[in-house]
Structure 1
């Protein structure tokens, strides 16, 4: 099992995406985040087919910190039932993986 994951979600606006990413990084639940968009999404929602523009948020963290990050994203997200998905990072440069671990480690004091 990998020790690192990339977590994705989406928001309705860029401001929502930046706020969500910023709150997760400031809380040290994610090492960093990227906001991508707008993107066009095609989906099923409440039994109906739809399309719309969203802003994708990609965050990196450790598997140990993932449950806290997920809880944070669900609590702070503007939607009631957002998609939050974690994908294992199966390989990465040693320095990048170390940066993720160091950035999400709980701080002393």
Structure 2
């Protein structure tokens, strides 16, 4: 285990996606964040199949900062139930992984 995770959320507005990405990095909740090009999402909401254009934000963060990042995204996000999922990072460049920890914890 590396102590690093990738957390993801989606949102339906490019400017809001950029704000969520930049804000998390400025707040040291993530070492970096990527905003992916728009894609089409299909999902069930209130018993209806919906279609929307969304942008995915992928945050690289330490497991220590994950609860704070999740709370921050929930507070800043415009959706009633924003996606927030995490993917464990099981390996990688030691220099990169150390950088993620330093940027999110200051150690």
Deviates more, 1:30-39 or 1:43-52: 43-52
**Aligned match of 2:105:** 105
Q: Where in structure 2 are the equivalents of 1:79-90 lying within 5 Å?
A: 79-90=79-90
Residues in 1 aligned to 2:7 and 2:73: alpha-carbon distance in whole angstroms: 10
Compute the RMSD of aligned alpha carbons.
Answer: 1.3
Structure 1 runs (4+) greater than 2 angstroms displaced: none
1:95 paired residue number: 95
SS in 1 for 2:82: coil
Report 1:37-52 matches (<5 A): 37-52=37-52
Paired residues in the alignment total 107
| Offset of residue 49 of structure 1 | 1.2
Q: Give CA-to-partner distance per residue, 1:8-46, whole Å, 9 cap, x none.
A: 000111100000111111000000000012111111112
Would the aligned equivalents of 2:61 and 2:101 in 1 still touch at CA under 8 Å?
yes
TM-score, normalised to structure 2, is: 0.94
